Amino acid sequence: MGVPRDMARLFELTALGGDVFVADSPSVGRSRLFGGQVAGQALRAACRTADGRPPHSLHAYFIRPGAPEEPLRFEVARTRDGRSFSTRHVTASQGGKPILELIASFHEPEDGFDWQAPGPSGTPAPEDLPEHWTPPGFSRHPDGFEVRVVDPPDEDGFPVPQPFWIRTDRPVGDDPALHACLLAYLSDMGMVSSARAPGSPKRLVTAVTLDHAMWFHRPPRADRWLLFSAGPVTNHGARGLARGTLHTADGTLVASIAQEALLRPAAR
């Protein structure tokens, strides 16, 4: 079976030559583009120039909000190709103005130690959790993801309750680059709300991503259950930092995430 229809369209980039690509940005009920979409598509553009090397990290800065229904242009600069690593710089733009800058690094697979800190414990398996509830914000994503939350939300359904299980709702093939891009997409889900300080006001005038970083520790599979756990690290002024992890059902750490968000509270 192929990639889910709507998700496939997101990652179908058209090459214009000279390491320049364009992609669609369909509207899914948001007033601005979802940051994970732009980052995932930018990573896809970088992967198209990396000669099959898998990505091991990305660092992105969100400069301007993106507009739905307006094509995205991705310009890739081949910063370096070494014996073991490749580096790519991607600028995503709309209307001639950059909306995201992303640097991705790619690592030729090689042997080494395989160790990780202990993963989460005591978390119910996804099969033991109800299927009917979807976090409200997740309805504004393309069809193709299945989500199961571990803890029930509060009466407002906000913030997105962490941790939660997530996967694509059908197999997506064996292209490792596509799986990495799908993980980059979903790595932004719920991260802004996870950066809020405990006990801080729910209503915010501004709640947007400033920058986003991700490390791929092991080859990911986006079509198998992943436990997404995230929480706040610090808040100061109008900025908050959250860290997150993605673990497989057997506790293997697949990826780590860090995100800083702009969090401006509403006037009292």
| Sign of CA pseudo-dihedral 212, 144, 92, 255 | positive
CA dihedral 202, 182, 145, 214 (to 10 degrees): -30
Half-sphere exposure of 173 (CA within 13 A, CB side): 12
**Which of 41, 91, 162, 188 is flagged as catalytic?**
188
**Which of 49, 91, 123, 209 is flagged as catalytic?**
209
Residues 6+ apart with CB under 8 A from 260: 195, 209, 210, 211, 239, 240, 241
Residue 94 annotated in active site:
no
Residue 169 annotated in active site:
no
* Whole-number Å distance between alpha carbons of 65 and 209: 10
Q: Are 244 and 188 in contact (CB under 8 A)?
A: no
Nearest to 210 by CA among 257, 244, 261, 258: 261
Count each helix (H run) and each strand (E run) in the chain, helices first.
4, 12
* Whole-number Å distance between alpha carbons of 157 and 4: 27
Looking at residue 184, the DSSP 8-state letter turns out to be: H
Residue 188 annotated in active site:
yes
Burial of 114 (0-12, 13-18, 19+ CB in 10 A): exposed
Residues annotated as part of the active site: 188, 209, 259
